[in-house]
């Protein structure tokens, strides 16, 4: 037996196919009584609207793509929760693409998303290279950036002010009596979350009359292992320091592990502040003091903006979302 069609629903409800379609797509032009008749027919027949058929009606697939450099990270999963919640509330499905470190698979996935005829893209955390922009432009679908931005093209974004957040993290250490402060930065060449966080760190030191020592800055890639290696490098080569600002929680946790290996107690011997406020920052001991980014909210907001663009329901602008410091137990007030 063939599955019921939209024509079967129309016949059972004694209305036109166009009316059934309008009811199913929440459009106007029918009475409440008609709506109830259609929905009752849908339920009794067990009618399932076909995504391809829906696409023929409204020229959409009700699907969005999300590109992450590392889908396995806590950071990405927090953003994804927000994306999926907002998408599903609006009747959209989500295709998640792992572009890998340095965007090795970004172009490949953009082609895949094009073939899938997705309605829009949430692009996260990676620098928007010219080749990506051109591919996105050719797709003619709306794009919203999360945790990244471009000064070159008019694409809306959702992110925190990385420079300001790094400034406040460093300032927090200074206000707790620390003046010899090292930094574990993200990728040296990253203009989005790398450079601005280093600039914020340096500016906070300068504003408090503390000389910036480049030897106290070590570079990682935002991941756990790179934080561990960076801390080993600082302990071996840098001038002495009493506190560390790590530009991600994962690097901060790696740094704490390296400090423990060298017999240092946190925060008694060394204070550490992280950045992101991932779940891991609450799970580790001692719990990590860190800069809170509202990652799930950022994913949700970006998706709401994207769907507004897809449905052409409102003007969309960029958003700088608020951050704040979460005090836990890894920063000691220096006497």
Look-up of token digits 């137990």: 329
Distance (Å, whole) CA 98 – CA 112 = 12
Determine the average pLDDT of the residues in 291-312. Answer: 94
- In this predicted model, what pLDDT tens digit does every residue of 254-268 receive, in sequence order? 999 999 999 999 999
Tell me the average pLDDT of the chain.
89
Cis peptide before 111 (omega within 30 of 0): no
Which of 191, 120, 103 shows the shortest CA–CA distance to 149? 191
Task: Give the span between the Cα atoms of 55 and 146, in whole angstroms.
Answer: 27
Mean pLDDT computed over 133-146 = 90
Residue 303 CB partners (closer than 8 Å, separation 6+)? 64, 82, 83, 86, 87, 92, 122, 144
pTM of the model: 0.79
* Contact predicate 5/21, CB 8 Å: no
Indicate whether 174 pLDDT > 80.
yes
CB 126 within 8 A of CB 104: no
Secondary structure of residue 153 in the 3-state scheme: coil
Judged against a pLDDT cut of 60, whether residue 73 lies above it is answered with yes
Say which range, 95-99, 102-106, 148-152, 245-249, has the weakest mean pLDDT: 102-106
């Amino acid at each position: 037996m063939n599955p019921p069609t939209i024509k079967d629903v129309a016949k059972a409800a004694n209305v036109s196919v166009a009316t059934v379609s309008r009811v199913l797509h929440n459009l106007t032009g029918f009475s409440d009584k008609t709506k109830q008749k259609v929905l009752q027919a849908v339920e009794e027949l067990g009618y399932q609207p076909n995504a391809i058929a829906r696409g023929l009606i409204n020229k959409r697939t009700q699907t969005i793509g999300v590109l992450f450099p590392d889908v396995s990270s806590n950071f990405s999963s927090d953003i994804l929760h927000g994306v999926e919640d907002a998408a599903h509330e609006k009747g959209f499905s989500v295709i998640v693409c792992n572009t890998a470190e340095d965007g090795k698979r970004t172009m490949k996935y953009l082609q895949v998303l094009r073939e899938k005829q997705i309605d829009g893209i949430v692009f996260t955390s990676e620098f928007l290279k010219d080749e990506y922009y051109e591919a996105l432009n050719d797709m003619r679908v709306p794009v919203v950036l999360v945790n990244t931005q471009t000064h070159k093209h008019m694409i809306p974004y959702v992110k925190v002010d990385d420079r300001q957040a790094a400034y406040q993290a460093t300032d927090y250490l200074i206000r707790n009596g620390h003046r010899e402060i090292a930094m574990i930065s993200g990728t040296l060449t990253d203009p989005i979350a790398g450079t601005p966080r280093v600039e914020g760190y340096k500016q906070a030191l300068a504003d408090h009359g503390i000389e910036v020592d480049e030897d106290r800055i070590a570079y990682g890639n935002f991941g756990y292992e790179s934080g561990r290696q960076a801390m080993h490098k600082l302990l071996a080569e840098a001038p002495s320091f009493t506190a560390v600002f790590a530009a991600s929680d994962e690097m901060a946790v790696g740094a704490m592990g390296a400090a423990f290996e060298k017999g240092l107690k946190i925060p008694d011997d060394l204070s550490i502040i992280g950045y992101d406020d991932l779940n891991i920052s609450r799970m580790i001991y001692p719990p990590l003091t860190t800069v809170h980014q509202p990652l799930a909210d950022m994913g949700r907001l970006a998706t709401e903006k994207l769907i507004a663009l897809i449905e052409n329901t409102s003007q969309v602008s960029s958003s700088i979302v608020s951050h704040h410091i979460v005090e836990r137990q890894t920063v000691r007030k220096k006497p």
